[in-house]
Amino acid sequence: MAKRYTPEQRKPRLKGALLYLLPLPLLLDAVLELFAGDVRAVLGSGVGFVLAMLGAVLMRRGIVIEAKSTQRKLMRRSSSVPYKMVGAVVVGAAMGVLAWIGLEKTLLQSALYAGFAFTGCWLYYGRDPSRSHPEIAAIGITAEEVIELLEEAEGRIANIEKARRQIANPELNDRLRSIVKGARRILEIIEDDPRDARRARKFLRVYLDGAMQVTQGYAKTHALGESAELEANFRRVLGTIETVISEQQQKLLENNLSELDVTIEVLQMQLEKEGVT
């Protein structure tokens, strides 16, 4: 079985979930104080709850972005908004409002409460990830652009894999499985050496898109009935794709993509000639 191209995942799981739980007593307190008729206490607990929940949402957003930024060997550029920092500020503000209005502390004491809350969030959850990857940017392409290319290509490969499952012919199924495996190997090579990504754009987008379309087209037509001519045409196209996948791997390893454009044009002409799609 072909191994799906999935770099090590560092999922945030439940990190940051505690921030959603801690403000809940404030909501309960606001309801109780409402029945008691204490407007000041209701305002303090209510505003504190809203700000604390907003801070939790922002912090969680920053945590998710950080987790995504470290899923690959390349460092993904983070959002331009420092969500974790803004979230920590909002959590600190929630604590300050609660202390000042709800607990009737002095402004100085409330500021200290806010400062402690902000510092605690910042120390526990850390800073937002960097937005740059200078080593990659220096070669004319950013890490974000490389990752975007890889993810787009993975999507096309996943569609080929999905279409493959609709084809009952064992031989064609095995050949498609081999093509998927080879294509994912190419993505691994590019991620290991992203300097090739800029030159491999056309392969990752145009060529894989053509391979995806021809596979999906055959799977759809094949489901309507058997056709010896269609199967023979598809088999020939698969031969071309297999050859190009193998050649492309070698070219990437040799840093030689000079013949790539010609190869893509050959595939496009063959797809039109065979009429598989």
As given in the structure block, the two tokens for residue 232 are 């023979």
**pLDDT reading at 256 higher than 90:** no
Please enumerate in sequence order all residues whose Cβ is within 8 A of that of 16, keeping only pairs 6 or more positions apart, or say none. Answer: 56, 59, 60, 63, 125
Are 107 and 78 a contacting pair, CB within 8 Å?
no
DSSP 105: -
253 vs 261, residue with greater confidence? 253
Interatomic CA distance for residues 247 and 268, integer angstroms: 17
Q: How confident is the model at residue 75 (pLDDT cuts 50, 70, 90)?
A: low
- Give 28: exposed, middle or buried? Use CB within 10 Å, 0-12, 13-18, 19+: exposed
Q: What is the pLDDT of residue 53?
A: 93
Q: How far is CA 15 from the centre of its chain?
A: 18
Query: pLDDT tens digit string along 175-206?
Result: 999 999 999 998 888 887 777 777 777 778 88
The count of other CB atoms within 10 Å of the CB of residue 115 is 13
Domain boundaries, the chain: 18-125, 134-274
Q: How confident is the model at residue 2 (pLDDT cuts 50, 70, 90)?
A: very low
Q: What is the pLDDT of residue 158?
A: 93
Interatomic CA distance for residues 136 and 181, integer angstroms: 26
Establish how many alpha carbons lie within 13 A of residue 74's alpha carbon, considering only the half-sphere containing its beta carbon.
31
Residue 226, helix vs strand vs coil: coil
